[in-house]
Amino acid sequence: MKISIAQLNYHIGNFEYNKSLICNAIKQAKGENAELVIFSELCISGYPPLDLLDRYDFIEKCGITVNEIAKECIGISAIVGSPVINKNQEGKKLFNSALVLSEGRIVFAANKALLPTYDIFDEYQYFEPEKSFKVFSLNGKRLAITICEDLWDEQPFDNKFEKSRLYTISPMEELARQNPDIVINIAASPFSYTKTESRENIFRNKARKYGLPVISVNQTGANTELVFDGASVVVDPKGNVFRKLPFFEEAIVTFDTGNLVSGQVTTIEKPDPVELIHDGLVLGIRDYFRKSGLKSAILGLSGGIDSAVCLCLAAEALGHENVRSLLMPSRYSSEHSVTDAVDLAKRLHTRYDIVSIEKPFSAFEDDLSALFEGKARDVTEENIQARVRAVLLMAVSNKFGCILLNTSNKSEAAVGYGTLYGDMAGGLSVIGDVYKTDIYRLAEYINRHKEIIPENIIKKLPSAELRPDQLDSDSLPEYSILDNILYQYIELQKPPEKIIEDGADAETIKRVIRMINFNEYKRYQAPPILRISSKAFGAGRRMPLVARY
Amino acid sequence: MKISIAQLNYHIGNFEYNKSLICNAIKQAKGENAELVIFSELCISGYPPLDLLDRYDFIEKCGITVNEIAKECIGISAIVGSPVINKNQEGKKLFNSALVLSEGRIVFAANKALLPTYDIFDEYQYFEPEKSFKVFSLNGKRLAITICEDLWDEQPFDNKFEKSRLYTISPMEELARQNPDIVINIAASPFSYTKTESRENIFRNKARKYGLPVISVNQTGANTELVFDGASVVVDPKGNVFRKLPFFEEAIVTFDTGNLVSGQVTTIEKPDPVELIHDGLVLGIRDYFRKSGLKSAILGLSGGIDSAVCLCLAAEALGHENVRSLLMPSRYSSEHSVTDAVDLAKRLHTRYDIVSIEKPFSAFEDDLSALFEGKARDVTEENIQARVRAVLLMAVSNKFGCILLNTSNKSEAAVGYGTLYGDMAGGLSVIGDVYKTDIYRLAEYINRHKEIIPENIIKKLPSAELRPDQLDSDSLPEYSILDNILYQYIELQKPPEKIIEDGADAETIKRVIRMINFNEYKRYQAPPILRISSKAFGAGRRMPLVARY
């Protein structure tokens, strides 16, 4: 059986666009004599549709679009993902369905049973879990059609407290009893740099366990925070990878299942995680702008490594002509801040402007002098400087219609080392899920062929430059120590005692954890953060602000 | 049987505090010769604990606290709510449990079966739904112990697209077969001004349906956005209300179930929704501060009705001596803006300071004049003014350790009529879930005994005063029309065509809906909003920012 898999980049709610993507792929698959073309989970609506699923008009449009696409399925079948109304009297209003389209109509529906509802996933908000499972015969082949998590009934978790079997049923066990020939999995599985291998292993293990080929189809592209990496795989019944589609790119691949069973194994190089993070962030920026109908960006360039890396990523994502920066020196800025920033902007051929913050900063000091009489200078004045910069950046953003990119990193966000409405401002956080130590790795990767980011920027000691001779290390542990604690507490969710046992300094850990918990209120108002880890700040991590813990 | 119900105000993660609240209530119940004292859902951890439930150390502390409380249960039994580890091999890691404590130990556990996972509820993220149900005999009475939604298997929804039976099982049906004598429901059910009656009706209908008394115990108090109204009720087997506990207050009430069955009915006046909203917001502010260990607040007082209402609410919640305001006139401010604001601040005996925004505003204009040369004035300059005010407010907030209260209303938030990092700034949004037309009702309620808010402030036409002679009605439909559209679209989730059918102007509706959808990015970064409706902006309403819909 000749099958095409279509790894595409959908746009949430843009039904015309998604339809044309899908119909073009059907045409191409037909041209390659495929009998079946497979698309990813909820490709009709785009993933994740979130609370648009609560709107009846949205669901109606999904139905209309599926029917229109079905009309194109003459002489070829297609599997598409769509929300479908649950017609039973009881339960949630929708199913998350894989629909088989053939001869102009919907001929079969498999509904998702295991609905991920953890971290950024919220599927049980909208969908009723399916409880019965049937293979579907197409041109003499018995297809076990599953949707994403349905095949992930056993999975490793970062948090040791979590169970590896999160569900009490296994759809694949039940499908296996019906003697399928091929397992199909349509997915919408977001990127995490620690998870690419384990995801592939899930498919390989299932193939081996059941002695069946597994065809997985993931989407690519970014939707606000979530970046989908594609990397769809076809696995032979022995668990070897037969085909692997690219990371972060659209691709349509056609193959014969006859060859699949006979096992022409592909050897794949293990991808470099820093390269994947880099490519994921570039795609994340590009799709945020493209899908919002936006073109150009602005950011504040401080002469430090964070904004330098962001400028490089943005220039690659949007084109150097669409990214501008503002250099905003103050009385506390070192000379190299400006010269290093100018050097970088020039190397990237991006526009830059220099605006001193001195005048508005002084005006605020004057305005407040009576009110603040007798009070010592403190973090207030540091925050005013950061906020003056945000006002300037937002003014240019408003006047020229360019979106402010936020350049805060995950280490800062974790401990609250940043100013709300100041350097925490922006429409999209580029590196808010990247720890400081990984920012250096990204800089190294960006410089892999030639020095784009000046060595000066990489070598200097991190500083916010909000008071004379200030260094990050005045207020924070060394980043290598800090990031290690953060990773164990945030990603691995280890109890503090366990982190201490594992060798970190008890006082430092307690202090860092206090800072994390105390600063939940700041992160509540942070911009959406491009997610590249298994636990990013934002929708996938919600803490009660008034808790005492 | 003598039973006490304890409607208390818990603090998330503050185990010592919750324990002492609970132990004091046990003591009091003992003093009143109660055999059983009933507490609300997840009272040990506080509700909602959100992702603290992912932390093993947090769950361990819940267990320790339950055991300590059990030791106090000698000669009396207690029902408490706590997360409990799911010891089965498969499924989510926790149960949401009602634990019966007696003779120093846990003697019975009923686990929650129906796990609300919609709007602000996310319980299936953490909890495994229970599938088997048993009544528990205590001192000869057979108790059917249910947890919140377990008894709400049939409920009305605002969104007509939703099913009234959201679940495929009914715990109460199964418990009813075991001939219970009393139905107990422990809950953590947040306030919504449209839902107080329907919630009571759920209990009354269940009592009638099964011919059994129903004892419901809700919590009171606020945790960040969510305000819990208490209003626990005891219903006799005929569905009449036998006891009703107060709204928004702690209370412990003891009664004899003998009297309950013989039916001494209480007649209750229907509460005024505006009074409830007022009291809910006051409690919301008070608990945000108290539970965060904070004392004092600041807000920007514009001379308009929104900030006036917020100042009154804050003064009532925190005491007039703990609330200060900043009046920040500009070249576009009308004279009455300042005089009206001063008048109000004086009437409330709250401190106010006047700081003109002219100097920093001019400094920004100067700083940007070269960059903006040849560009017309537009919304950029309006936003700069709003942001200058935020910088001043946050400076006072930082210097004096008072928290900035946000004074934006729901109508503005819906259509994006506000400046990010400007008037949208603040640690807590007081009226962000109150439509403009209801702000007038709140003002009227605040003035019910005497004129606190000057008539001038109530009578003037709404204006942002960011350019000469600006009025809200220049950019927006009249608020009575706007709010009606917003309510139908946001709360009732009606499709646009249906709102048009129901009589609103098609062009206006389309324009308003475009504004709502376009401004999702602003609301993403808004402060937590005290929730008083059935659909507030924030955690209970998540829309994909890059969608085209």
Instruction: Write the pLDDT tens digit of every residue in A114-171.
Output: 999 999 999 999 999 999 999 999 999 999 999 999 999 887 777 778 777 899 999 9
**Averaged pLDDT of chain A:** 95
C-alpha distances (whole Å) from B117 to each of A57, A115, A123, B124, B433 are 22, 12, 9, 6, 21
Q: Which residue has the higher pLDDT, B453 or A468?
A: B453
Q: Which of A51, A353, A544 lies nearest to residue B224, judging by beta carbons? A: A544
Using the predicted structure, report yes or no on whether residue B252 has a pLDDT greater than 90: yes
Q: Is A259 within 8 Å of chain B by CB?
A: no
A211-240, pLDDT tens digit by residue?
999 999 999 999 999 999 999 999 999 999
Strands B182-186 and B214-217: parallel
Q: Under DSSP, is residue B372 helix (H, G, I), strand (E, B) or coil? A: coil
B499-530, pLDDT tens digit by residue?
999 887 999 999 999 999 999 999 999 999 99
Q: What is the DSSP string of A420-461?
A: TTTTT--SEESSTTS-HHHHHHHHHHHTSSS--S-HHHHHSP
CA dist., res. B225 & res. B218, Å (int):
17
Using the predicted structure, report yes or no on whether residue B93 has a pLDDT greater than 70: yes
Q: Residue B83's beta-bridge partner residues?
A: B96
Q: Is A497 within 8 Å of chain B by CB?
A: yes
The answer to whether the CB atoms of B13 and A547 lie below 8 A apart is yes
pLDDT value for B262 = 66
Strands A297-300 and A36-38: unpaired
Output Rg (C-alpha) for chain A, integer angstroms: 26
Largest separation between any pair of C-alpha atoms in chain B: 86
CA dist., res. B146 & res. A237, Å (int):
48
Interface test with A, best of B492, B516, B545 (most A CBs within 10 A): B545
The answer to whether the CB atoms of A549 and B395 lie below 8 A apart is no
Using the predicted structure, report yes or no on whether residue B355 has a pLDDT greater than 80: yes
Q: Which of B162, B287, B544 lies nearest to residue A49, judging by beta carbons? A: B544
Q: What band does A262 get if pLDDT is binned at 50, 70 and 90?
A: low
The answer to whether the CB atoms of B549 and A399 lie below 8 A apart is no
CA dist., res. A357 & res. A154, Å (int):
55
Closest CA–CA distance from residue A329 to any residue of chain B (Å): 12
pLDDT value for A549 = 84
Active site residues of B: 41, 112, 148
Residue ranges of A 317-376 with Cβ closer than 8 A to chain B: 353, 355-357, 359-360, 362-364, 366-368, 371-372, 375
Q: Residue A266's beta-bridge partner residues?
A: none
The answer to whether the CB atoms of B52 and A543 lie below 8 A apart is yes
The answer to whether the CB atoms of A525 and B525 lie below 8 A apart is yes
- Burial-class residue A75 by CB neighbours within 10 Å (0-12, 13-18, 19+): exposed
CA dist., res. B547 & res. B11, Å (int):
37
pLDDT value for B114 = 97
The answer to whether the CB atoms of A54 and B161 lie below 8 A apart is yes
Token pair for B57: 């150390």
- Burial-class residue B197 by CB neighbours within 10 Å (0-12, 13-18, 19+): exposed
Using the predicted structure, report yes or no on whether residue A265 has a pLDDT greater than 90: no
- For residue A368, the chain B residues in CB contact (below 8 A) are 355, 392, 395-396, 399
- For residue A516, the chain B residues in CB contact (below 8 A) are none
- Burial-class residue B56 by CB neighbours within 10 Å (0-12, 13-18, 19+): middle
The answer to whether the CB atoms of B49 and A544 lie below 8 A apart is yes
Token pair for B485: 């559209």
B470-507, pLDDT tens digit by residue?
898 888 999 999 999 999 999 999 999 999 998 879 99
DSSP label of B463: -
Residue ranges of A 396-425 with Cβ closer than 8 A to chain B: 396, 398-399, 420-421, 425
pLDDT value for B84 = 98
Q: What band does A406 get if pLDDT is binned at 50, 70 and 90?
A: very high
Token pair for B531: 């929730």
Q: Which of A48, A367, A541 lies nearest to residue B51, judging by beta carbons? A: A541
Q: Is B16 within 8 Å of chain A by CB?
A: no
A45-87, pLDDT tens digit by residue?
999 999 999 999 999 999 999 999 999 999 999 999 999 999 9
Interface test with A, best of B122, B160, B367, B398 (most A CBs within 10 A): B367
Q: Nearest CA to A144 among A49, A79, A220?
A: A79
Q: Which of B12, B92, B380 lies nearest to residue A398, judging by beta carbons? A: B380
Is residue B532 within 8 A of residue B190, CB to CB? The reply is: no
- For residue B152, the chain A residues in CB contact (below 8 A) are none
pLDDT value for B143 = 98
Interface predicted TM-score of the whole assembly (ipTM), two decimals: 0.96
Q: Which of A161, A291, A544 lies nearest to residue B546, judging by beta carbons? A: A291
Q: Is A474 within 8 Å of chain B by CB?
A: no
Q: Which residue has the tokens 């079905």?
A: A70
CA angle B59, B62, B63 (to 5 degrees): 95
Q: Under DSSP, is residue B401 helix (H, G, I), strand (E, B) or coil? A: coil
Strands annotated E in A187-322? 214-217, 220-223, 226-229, 233-235, 241-244, 251-256, 297-300
Using the predicted structure, report yes or no on whether residue A266 has a pLDDT greater than 80: no
pLDDT value for B377 = 95
- Burial-class residue B20 by CB neighbours within 10 Å (0-12, 13-18, 19+): exposed
Using the predicted structure, report yes or no on whether residue A283 has a pLDDT greater than 70: yes
Q: How many CB atoms lie within 10 A of CB B432?
A: 29
CA atoms within 13 A on the CB side of B421: 30
The answer to whether the CB atoms of B544 and A224 lie below 8 A apart is yes
Closest CA–CA distance from residue A378 to any residue of chain B (Å): 8
Domains of chain B: 2-268 (3.60.110.10), 277-476+519-524 (3.40.50.620)
Interface test with B, best of A9, A429, A516, A549 (most B CBs within 10 A): A549
Q: Is the dihedral of CA A435, A437, A442, A443 positive or negative?
A: positive
Interface test with B, best of A391, A517, A522 (most B CBs within 10 A): A391
> Which helix (H) or strand (E) is A18 found in, with range?
helix A15-31
Is residue A224 within 8 A of residue A257, CB to CB? The reply is: no
Q: Is B467 within 8 Å of chain A by CB?
A: no
CA dist., res. B544 & res. A223, Å (int):
7
Q: Nearest CA to B212 among B251, B173, B246?
A: B173
Q: Is the dihedral of CA A114, A117, A123, A128 positive or negative?
A: positive
Using the predicted structure, report yes or no on whether residue A173 has a pLDDT greater than 70: yes
Q: Is A394 within 8 Å of chain B by CB?
A: yes
Q: Which residue has the higher pLDDT, A278 or A166?
A: A278
Amino acid letter for position B140: G
- Look at chain A and count its residues: 549
Q: Which of B55, B293, B368 lies nearest to residue A495, judging by beta carbons? A: B55
Lowest mean pLDDT of A414-428, A471-485, B430-444, name the range. Answer: A471-485
Strands A297-300 and A323-327: parallel
Q: Is B393 within 8 Å of chain A by CB?
A: no
pLDDT value for A259 = 87
Q: Which of B52, B57, B545 lies nearest to residue A495, judging by beta carbons? A: B57
pLDDT value for A263 = 61
**Averaged pLDDT of chain B:** 95
Out of A148, A310, A312, A402, which one is annotated catalytic?
A148
Strands B251-256 and B2-7: antiparallel
Interface test with A, best of B404, B546, B549 (most A CBs within 10 A): B546
Using the predicted structure, report yes or no on whether residue A35 has a pLDDT greater than 80: yes
Q: Is A448 within 8 Å of chain B by CB?
A: no
CA angle A116, A121, A126 (to 5 degrees): 75
Q: Decide if A148 is catalytic.
A: yes
Closest CA–CA distance from residue A277 to any residue of chain B (Å): 21
> Which helix (H) or strand (E) is A183 found in, with range?
strand A182-186
- For residue A287, the chain B residues in CB contact (below 8 A) are 546
The answer to whether the CB atoms of B548 and A14 lie below 8 A apart is yes
Residue ranges of A 505-544 with Cβ closer than 8 A to chain B: 521, 524-528, 539, 541-544
pLDDT value for B419 = 98
Out of A19, A35, A41, A130, which one is annotated catalytic?
A41
Using the predicted structure, report yes or no on whether residue B134 has a pLDDT greater than 80: yes
pLDDT value for B484 = 96
pLDDT value for B545 = 94
